Amino acid sequence: MKERLGVYICHCGGNISDYVDVEKVRAAIEHEKGVVLAKTTMFACSDTNQTDMVQDIHEHNLDGVIVASCSPKLHLTTFRNVTERGDLNKYTYVHANIREQASWAHSDDKLGATEKAIRLVKAAIAKSRYADPLFPNQFEAEKNIAVIGGGIAGMKAALSLAEKKSNVILIEKENRLGGHTAEWGSLFMTDEKGFELTARIENDLRKYNNVTILTGAEVIDTKGSIGNFELKIRRRPQNDGDPMEIVELHVGSIVVATGYDHYLPKQGEYGFGTSETIITLPEFKQQVDKATGKSLEFKGKKINNIAYIYCVGSRQNEGENTYCSRFCCTSAIHTAIEVKKKFKGMQNIHLTRGIRTYGKQELLYAESLQMGDLYLQFDENNLPEIRSEGKKTVVTVKDILSARKEMEMEVDLVVLVTGMVPRPDQSIGTMLKLPKGRDRFFNEIHMKLRPVETVIDGVTIAGTCQGPKNISESVNSALSAATKSFSYISKGTLETEPIIAEIDQDACSWCDKCSNACPFDAIDQIEMGGRTVASVNPMVCKGCGMCAPVCPVDAINLIGYTSEEMMSMIDALA
């Protein structure tokens, strides 16, 4: 219990004192129990006042400090730091918001604002009496990092970690690295071949002896939390006849880069599966890449006219993929340009839902228009229809660019421009408890400012497992994820916030209600003196407090928000 409290009431240059009578507030609280110093100040946050506060803490031997000023969002950290400069634990500092929630909110009622401010300061004093020094939980962190998925994103993440002298374990389910990128030929924007790009990255990767590459390997179990994850990996035998190998790894953080799948059209979707002249974009790209002659042949037939149907499996009106797959417009256009450059007598007809060659990719669209490619546009309610008439393939579409006139064209090949879908096997996500979005891709913690971090501390997501991306975007995401994963554990020790749940284990008789309420799996049952009780893992607890109200014997309190503190604040406000 604190006995020597110092209270500062800020004028905020009139922002507070024009509406709240700060002298009256001071007078009302100066005789509160434990208060030994009560001052008003023009600007509590100013350097001069901060210096005075440090001096006061020492001179008056204060054991707790309260500032009544603006919102804690602005200056809580400022004053916690001042408290620390006065050699007090920063968690003994308590803030009262008498600007946003008193003087400004009630600028129409000065007396009311002043009375409210008095009660707010009294409540802060009440809380302050209980505000014990708290210390962050420190623990040793494993310095190894696991990267799950060996496509372009996983390889780049692993490479960048290797460059930073981390021990990296790259885990790939297939027997080779490179993922989908290694299946592509010429790539848009640079014309480099996909397999050449992945080969040069793999080559760089294999130069580092701090990288362990496990191909044919799958994570089958995970345990632990940031700093100390345990992964169990099942690896296919390297030699025939050998048994399955089980590898156990201890890592400090994890980069998940499990990638995407190509959308596979349903039987009959745009005639898919009914005719061999209806193929998907990835299949078509491979054909174009393989062809060596002056003309393009497919299944023994010469190809001249190609129809590309866009948004297959993306932007679905009916169906679960409502999202845009982002890379396919540019990829299709780039392939069509390549077709015209490589072979003679080709005509490309694009049936689109509005071309999305964003950014500099627009230049490819312009190039394709210049080369004479034909663009028609349909809307989601009038999809193009494809029928086979003997050996002919006929496409009909209502073109919204020519007043919805129905067009009919005979083509040699139909290319379905398919998008990206999340991997059907997301067991790694389930094991690590990664949340998924409505689009079923893994979800980041904040879409705008924290695009690679997840709600699970120590686990980042890279590349297309988070959502559709092109290669350059996947690499940026991979390097960002690698940097975050690296900075989590590069110091070798980790600190977590001390504001966590606390269980009175004498009162607890384990009923599992708290552990069910915890969204982070931070509560386990342990044996203690022959009884089973609940125990909070301080490394995992995030201090939400969800476990506290569900305890049938009221044995759980959130540090900093205990029932004692809350009730004494309510008493002061009442």
Partner 1 sequence: MSDSFKKNAKILVFSTEKISDPAIDMAGLLKLHYPPTVYTITVPCSSGIKPSWIIHAYEKGFDGVFIAADGTDCIFGESCTEKTGNIVAITHEKMKEKEIDPARLRMAALCSVCSEAFVKQMRSFNDYLIKTIHSNNN
Partner 2 sequence: MEERKIIKYDALVIGAGIAGGEAAINLANTGYKVLLVEKDHSLGGKMILLSKVFPTLDCAACITTPKVSEIARHKNITVFTESEVTHIAKKSDNDFVAQISKKPRYVRVEGCTACQLCEKACPVSVRDEYQFGLIGRKAAFIPFSIANPKAAVIDIENCTLCGACEKACPTHCIDFTMETEYYELHAKTVILATGFNLFDPLEIPRFGYGQYKNVITSMQMEREIAPTRPYNTILRPGDGKVPDRIAYVLCTGSRDNTVGNPICSQICCMYSMKQAQLLMGALPMADITIYYINIRSFGKGFEEFYQQAKGMGVNFVKGKIGKITEKENGNLILRYEDIAEGVVKEAEHDMVVLSVGVKSNPSAGKIFDGNSLKLDPLQFIAQKDLLGSPAKTSIDGVFVAGTASGPMDIPDSILSAGSASSEAISYLTRYQSV
Residues 456-495 that bind partner 2 (CB under 8 A): 466-468, 471-473, 475-477, 479-484, 486-487, 490-491
CB of 572 to partner 1, least distance (A): 10
Q: Which does residue 341 bind out of partner 1, partner 2, none, counting CB within 5 to 8 angstroms by kind?
A: none
First-residue to last-residue Cα distance in the chain: 22
Instruction: Give, as ranges, the residues between 67 and 106 that touch partner 2 (CB under 8 A).
Output: 73, 77
Is there a contact between 255 and 456 (Cβ–Cβ < 8 Å)?
no
Q: Is 431 helix (H, G, I), strand (E, B) or coil?
A: helix
Q: Tell me which of 32, 439, 497, 504 binds partner 2, using CB under 8 A.
A: 439
Which residues 157-196 are close enough to bind partner 2 by CB under 8 A? 160, 163-165, 187, 189-190, 192
- Asked if 359 and 189 count as a contact pair (C-beta separation under 8 A), the reply is no
Residue with tokens 């999202």: 323
Q: Which amino acid is at 159?
A: L
Interface pattern 510-549 for partner 1 (x via CB under 8 A):
-------x-xx---------------------xxxxx-xx
Based on the shown chain and the rule CB under 8 A, indicate whether residue 434 belongs to the binding site for partner 1: no
Whichever of 96 and 182 has its CB closer to partner 1, that residue is: 96
- Pick from 360, 389, 529, 552 the residue near partner 2 by CB under 8 A: 360
Regarding 503 and contact with partner 1 (CB under 8 A), the answer is no
Smallest distance from the beta carbon of 426 to partner 1, in angstroms? 18
Of 459-488, which residues contact partner 1 (CB under 8 A)?
Answer: none
Q: How far is the CB of 80 from partner 2 (least distance, A)?
A: 11
Q: What is the 3-state secondary structure of 358-389?
A: CHHHHHHHHHHHHCCCEEEECCCCCCCEEEEE
In whole angstroms, what is the distance from residue 105 CA to residue 23 CA?
A: 19
Tell me whether residue 200 or residue 301 sits nearer to partner 2 (CB atom): 200
> Binds 113, which of partner 1, partner 2, none (CB < 5 to 8 A, cut-off by type)?
partner 1
519, two tokens: 């969204």
β-pairing verdict for 413-418 and 278-280: parallel
> What is the sign, positive or negative, of the torsion defined by CA atoms of 388, 394, 395, 396?
negative
469 and 477 Cβ atoms separated by less than 8 Å = yes
CB of 453 to partner 2, least distance (A): 10
Give the closest residue to 417 by CA, choosing from 309, 492, 342: 309
Total of residues contacting partner 1 (CB under 8 A): 49
Instruction: Rule CB under 8 A: choose which of 104, 229, 270, 323 binds partner 2.
Output: 323
Q: What is the nearest approach in angstroms of partner 1 to the Cβ of residue 451?
A: 16
Site for partner 1 in 79-138 (CB under 8 A): 97, 99-109, 111-116, 119-120, 123
The interface partner of residue 573, options being partner 2, partner 1, none and the CB cut-off 5 to 8 Å by kind, is: partner 1
User: What minimum distance in Å lies between the beta carbon of 446 and partner 2?
Assistant: 7
Answer for which of 455, 490, 505, 535 binds partner 1 (CB under 8 A) is 455
Torsion over CA of 414, 310, 385 and 322, rounded to 10 degrees? 140
Adjacency order of strands within the sheet including 405-411: 385-389, 392-399, 405-411
* Residue 99: contacted member of partner 2, partner 1, none (CB under 5 to 8 Å, by partner type): partner 1
Task: Please choose, from the candidates 520, 452, 484, the residue with its C-alpha nearest in 3D space to the C-alpha of residue 253.
Answer: 484
Interface residue with partner 2, options 53, 102, 201, 376 (CB under 8 A): 201
Backbone Cα Rg of the chain = 32
Site for partner 2 in 39-68 (CB under 8 A): 42-43, 45-48
- Show the tokens assigned to 346: 């080709």
Burial 461-475 (b: 16+ CB within 10 A, else e): bbbbbbbbbbbebbb
Residue 455 contacts which entry, partner 2, partner 1, none (Cβ below 5-8 A, type-dependent): partner 1
**CB nearer to partner 2: pick between 476 and 562:** 476
Residues 111, 443: Cα–Cα separation, whole Å:
49
Shortest Å, Cβ 540 to partner 1? 13
Q: For residues 574 and 566, what is the distance between their CA atoms, to the nearest angstrom?
A: 12
Q: Cα–Cα distance between 215 and 172 in angstroms, integer?
A: 5
Nearest distance, CB of residue 400 and partner 2, angstroms: 6
Dihedral angle computed from the Cα positions of residues 454, 460, 464 and 466, in that order, rounded to the nearest 10 degrees: 0
Neighbours of 172 (CB within 10 A): 25
299 within 8 A of 248, measured Cβ to Cβ: no
CA distances from 544 to 123, 336, 497 (A): 22, 53, 12
Check: CB of residue 405 under 8 Å from CB of residue 399: yes
Q: How many residues contact partner 2, by CB under 8 A?
A: 74
Residues in 144-203 at the binding interface with partner 1, rule: CB under 8 A: none
Type of residue numbered 262? H
- In the list 211, 219, 355, 518, the residue contacting partner 2 (rule: CB under 8 A) is 355
Instruction: State which of positions 292-321 bind partner 2 (CB under 8 A).
Output: 315
33 binds partner 2 (CB under 8 A): no
Task: Enumerate binding residues for partner 1 (CB under 8 A).
Answer: 71-73, 97, 99-109, 111-116, 119-120, 123, 435, 455, 499, 517, 519-520, 542-546, 548-550, 554, 558, 561, 563, 566-567, 569-571, 573-574
